[in-house]
Structure 1
């Protein structure tokens, strides 16, 4: 790997071991195999920009891992409800293995209140996350996701994931399982629309 890739790998390691706020430039350089601290400024501009990039890449890797596991385990003939339930089960199961990464994301959010650069990086990651989540649920490529779908379906899915993640970080013993999340959504949907369109199910948006 080159210095840039080494720095990203080192930063991801630091996020998991030390968290966002406590990671220093020296920590990253050391974790990157002794890369010069000056290389951080050269490649990323600042410690914050590097940590943001590492956090977003870590989240992308988590998403790829989850989606890969789902692609292998999910029956191609599964219904939308079955597919969505499997998605939640896999996401919840993976939270325990990525606890440090999720904690780092919460730390970054707190830092963003006083650091515009951090806020901008997180905002960009959220925009990408909305589109990616909408694409998975709809079963299409991200390029096919409309802005409306990203801002509705994608935003709601991200809000649900963030909320469940916070419950798991706080009290994993009593946090909801994937099937419980879907059961709650089904009840909520039934209360909002007691006579849903039979042509689309839970986890899908009506035709645009």
Structure 2
């Protein structure tokens, strides 16, 4: 078991995390960023268990993702083939998160968003727009912008393609791909590059 996770979580979270890791038998791998997920849990062919978490997450995102995945492991041990994000997993995740809901671990301004999310946790924190924005400190990565910050009708670049921002639908924006002229839905907190016409 690698202890390098300690560099990725808030300092005051380490004792609780140490307890969880010692209590539940799995290998933790910290991996390069994946576009489609922050982490995952899997049962390996040799009967052992593995959890992976992306290395590009900030300490609060990393902690939440790691506990999310440990909850899958615990639910798997307790209930066998339960729904991946069903009521059993939700109950385990809520229980495991309790010791971490503490202003010594998460910033005070984050706690109300976390508490609200944990009333009925979803498969991804990204599905809770307010929490995912708060977890990023309300700041996009250097040189990037959130889609919601692009003006209506404004252009932006995502994965080397130019899009035009359209209307909002709940937490997503309709954006027109300028090459194939198809409309795609972007999460309001998707991070994109601005596009300046030369």
* TM-score of the pair, normalised by structure 2: 0.28
Identify the structure with the greater strand proportion: 2
Instruction: Judging by fraction of residues, say which structure has more helix.
Output: 1
